[in-house]
Chain A
Amino acid sequence: MAERTLVEAVNDALHVEMERDGSIMVMGEDVGRAGGVFRATAGLRDRFGVDRCVDTPLAEAGILGTAIGLAMAGWRPVCEMQYESFSYPCLDQLITHVGRYHWRTGGAMQFPLTIRMPTGGGVRAPELHEDSPEAYYVHTPGVKVAIPSTPADAKGLLAAAIRDPDPVVIMEPKALYRSPRGEVPEGEHVVPLGKARIAREGSDVTLVAYGTMVQTCLEAAEQLDASAEVVDIRSLKPLDEETILASVGKTGRVVVVQEAPRVAGFGAEIAAVIAEKAILDLQGPILRVTGYDVPFPYWSIEHEYLPTPERVAEAATKVLAY
């Protein structure tokens, strides 16, 4: 085990996986010479050469579109979108082709693409550097989505994504890129998609979250008089409903937390699953703590937008008192 930051864990995963499989290539803006604007791909160009760590033209739809052709030619592309908000042009290729091409060939060809991107706010960056667009991705049939919240999971989920036969989007919370550090297994390390993690055990209320909001929930749990369980779902699709429902079965109370705007966010999906499958376990309404239905604000007031431990604790207190 080594102590690593989340971005170092991503870098480690890329080194290990590219070493393991010569068909993996990393492509994106500034991933080669610069090693990525967050240094996630540092060292890959020197280690694996310019053909397997490619500085592409500045064109996100072109990156994902050519990745489809590269996959048809036998490559396993790992595409970096420099920021989640810069990924929006690639949604065209994602929706019209990436999620459909396996289906369109009657299952004959596989498109094992991985799309990595930093996500989320809290880093005091200019406009369109701090969005949380996971709902756009997870709503696309044929595409899987995972969001780690720890360095070990960042490594393991990325390895799982790269090895998965379907296209997988990995969204890395950029606010967690450099801290905190965490223990990361050396060498090959795979965290299977679709397995949630109990980040904190508790018995009175369940806080369900992913990405940066896991830490927010852990801090909220400390503020509560009651015993809170924190479920880090890790993978949005496939979703580990079993772990969520087991926790809700135990506590009977749940707060779902997401940084993204509330309307039709992934929290609504989690809430719906609980409502459909565990209504008799519930002792109060499923509450959500989310971002608002507004553009992510300018960074000097971003703390007014981001869900805080206090807001989560308040919601938990409300449902505990129901």
Chain B
Amino acid sequence: MLPAEHDVRRIIGDGDLVADGEVDGLDEAALLDLYKAMILLRTYDERSVVYHRQGRIGTYAIFWGHEAIQAGSALALADEDWIFPSYRESAIGLLRGMPPETVLAWWRGHPAGWWDPREFRLASITVPIATHVPHAAGYAWGAKLKGESACSIVYFGDGATSEGAFHEGANFAAVMRAPVVLLCNNNQWAISTPLEAQTRAESLADKAAGYGMPGVRVDGGDVLAVYEATSEALDRARAGDGPTFIEALTYRSAPHATADDPSAYWDEERVEEERRNECVGRYERYLRRVGVLTDELAEEIRADALGRMKAGIAAAEAMPPPDPEVVFAHAYVDPPPGFRDG
């Protein structure tokens, strides 16, 4: 049976006809951690759009509405697991303790946006589509060969599944039984190109069968479903059973980036509907139904996130301009003579 023939996994109900489920092992504190992570990401994203309009950061890739995918999966990871983000997950390091000013510096085109991947077990933001899928496969394979228990997770979009690099990475991961989670954020759009122009597959998760790995479809607006699916994939990986492909279904109800004008191609009514059902609100209503979240607590969490962003942009703006010498600083470990000639 192909993944497309299964129901999409959901845990959060609608407060009416669809009952709420629960995830084994997630206590109140863990549920709130997921909420805090989503609010931090949401705040980062909304503030970044404002900062861009104010000329305080450069072009910025928006991830509004994708917080459930990012928080749900990242919090399922062990500390030692490595994250390979695309630009859509630019701020996922915040969930590993990276200060907001580091990510803001990246979007300000400032070299303080460089980081040591080992510090946060977080690879660099990958700009070209899908080319980091083989990196994640290689890292997981390499860690396994060294007898370590670390896994990796790689994030990419629906458009990325059309790239050769996705295929080569997925195939290597499967052949080497690499402990990696391939997390496809299927938000239905690659800038202006809709999913139906990207593939004839009924479900992107069906592609997994071709690699000999499980494919899982999950509601990408349901942070608990994403958390549970990622946890299961990591359990498989750590047990030596290799990679899993997770297709997190969502809808990009914000522009691709600050430079994008989606009015030329998207359906306003559908976007409005998706925005009404966006992931942070859904989870918030769930937490209130199960009695974990109060107005006061929600306000405190939001204020904390906003405070961190305000401090982050202030810190980023207080950074001195980069030393021009940095142009030559890290092109090579052992540079050839003449590399400065221009």
CB within 8 Å of A: which residues of B? 82, 111, 114-119, 123-124, 128, 131-143, 145-146, 148, 152, 164-165, 168-169, 171-172, 175-176, 329-334, 336-339
> Within A50-68, which residues are at the interface with B (CB < 8 Å)?
51, 56-57, 59, 61-62, 64-68
A155 to B135, CA, bound (A): 29
Q: Are B116 and A105 in contact (CB under 8 A)?
A: yes
Residue pair B330, A61 in contact (C-beta under 8 Å): no
The residue that B117 contacts in the complex, of A66, A109, A238, A239, with Cβ under 8 A, is A109
Question: Shortest Cβ distance from B324 into chain A, in angstroms?
Answer: 15
B124 touches A104 (CB 8 A): yes
Contact B141 A70 (CB under 8 A): yes
Kindly provide the distance from the CB of A109 to the nearest chain B CB, expressed in whole angstroms: 6
Complex partner residue of B168 from A59, A69, A110, A194, CB under 8 angstroms? A59
Q: Known contacts A165-B334, A238-B336; decide if A74 and B172 are in contact (CB<8 Å).
A: no
- For the complex, what is the distance from the CA of A241 to the CA of B146, rounded to whole Å? 42
Offer 14 A-B interface pairs, CB within 8 angstroms, sorted by A.
A25-B145, A57-B171, A59-B168, A69-B136, A69-B152, A71-B142, A73-B141, A92-B128, A96-B128, A97-B135, A165-B334, A238-B336, A238-B338, A239-B338
* Residues A260-318 near B (CB distance < 8 A): none
Is the CB–CB distance between B116 and A166 below 8 Å?
no
Given the known inter-chain contacts A103-B330, A108-B117, please indicate yes or no for A69 contacting B141, CB distance below 8 A: yes
Query: Separation in Å of the B53 CB from the closest CB of chain A?
Result: 28
CB nearest neighbor in A for B135: A69
Q: Shortest beta-carbon distance, A268 to chain B, in Å? A: 15
Query: 6 more A-B contacts (CB under 8 A) besides A69-B152, A109-B116?
Result: A59-B168, A69-B134, A72-B138, A75-B142, A102-B333, A108-B116
Complex partner residue of A62 from B117, B134, B331, B338, CB under 8 angstroms: B134
Residue on B nearest A111 in the bound complex, by CB: B333
Q: Is the Cβ of B114 less than 8 Å from the Cβ of A61?
A: no
**Min CB gap A166→B, angstroms:** 5
Say yes or no for A180: interface residue by CB 8 A criterion.
Answer: no
**Cα of A70 to Cα of B140 in the assembled complex, Å:** 8
Contact of A70 among B131, B142, B165 (CB under 8 A): B142
> Does A187 make an interface contact (CB < 8 A)?
no
Q: Is the CB of B117 within 8 A of A73?
A: no
B131 with A93: CB separation less than 8 A: yes
Question: Do B165 and A61 touch across chains, with their CB atoms under 8 A apart?
Answer: yes
Expressed in whole angstroms, the minimum distance between the Cβ of B178 and any Cβ of chain A is 8
**A-B residue pairs, 7 tightest by C-beta:** A69-B138, A65-B134, A73-B142, A106-B114, A62-B168, A66-B138, A238-B336
Residues of B contacting A110 in the complex (Cβ-Cβ under 8 angstroms): 333
Chain A residues contacting B131 (CB-CB under 8 Å) are 65, 92-93, 96-97
Give the chain A neighbours of B330 by CB distance below 8 A: 102-103, 105-107
Q: Place the interface of chain A in its size category.
A: 35 or more
CA distance A71 to B134 in the complex (A): 12
For residue A164, CB closer than 8 A to chain B, the reply is yes
Q: B171 to chain A: which residues have CB within 8 Å?
A: 57, 59, 62
CB distance from B232 to the nearest CB of A (A): 23
Give the chain A neighbours of B142 by CB distance below 8 A: 69-75
Q: Is the CB of B135 within 8 A of A68?
A: yes
In Å, the complex CA distance between A209 and B171 comes to 41
* B137 adjacent to A75 (CB under 8 Å): no
- Expressed in whole angstroms, the minimum distance between the Cβ of A84 and any Cβ of chain B is 19
Q: Which of A87-102 contact B (CB under 8 A)?
A: 89, 92-93, 96-97, 101-102
Within the complex, the shortest CB–CB distance from B120 to chain A, in Å, comes to 11
Q: Enumerate chain A residues within 8 angstroms of B339, measured Cβ to Cβ.
A: 141
Query: Is there a chain B Cβ closer than 8 Å to A144's Cβ?
Result: yes
Residues of B within 8 A of A69 (CB): 134-142, 152
The residues of A that contact B137 with a CB separation of less than 8 Å are 65-66, 69
B114 to chain A, nearest CB (A): 3
Tell me how far the C-beta of A43 lies from the nearest C-beta in chain B, rounded to whole angstroms: 20
Q: Which residue of A lies closest to B168 (CB)?
A: A62
Using CB atoms, name the residue of chain A closest to B152: A69
A151 at the interface (CB under 8 A from B): no
* Complex Cα spacing A96 to B135, Å: 12
Q: For residue B123, which residues in chain A have a CB less than 8 angstroms away from its CB?
A: 72
Tell me the minimal C-beta distance from B84 to chain A in angstroms: 8
Q: Are B337 and A194 in contact (CB under 8 A)?
A: yes
Q: Separation in Å of the A129 CB from the closest CB of chain B?
A: 22
Given contacts A66-B137, A105-B116, contact A144 B336 (CB under 8 A): yes
A75 with B116, Cβ < 8 A, contacts A65-B134, A102-B333, A165-B334 known: no
Q: How far is the CA of A164 from the CA of B332 in the complex (A)?
A: 11
Report the bound CA distance from A89 to B134 in whole Å: 13
Contact between B172 and A73, CB atoms less than 8 A apart: no
Contact among A64, A102, A106 with B115 in the assembled complex (CB-CB below 8 Å): A106
Of B133, B141, B172, B332, the most chain A CB neighbours within 10 A belong to B332
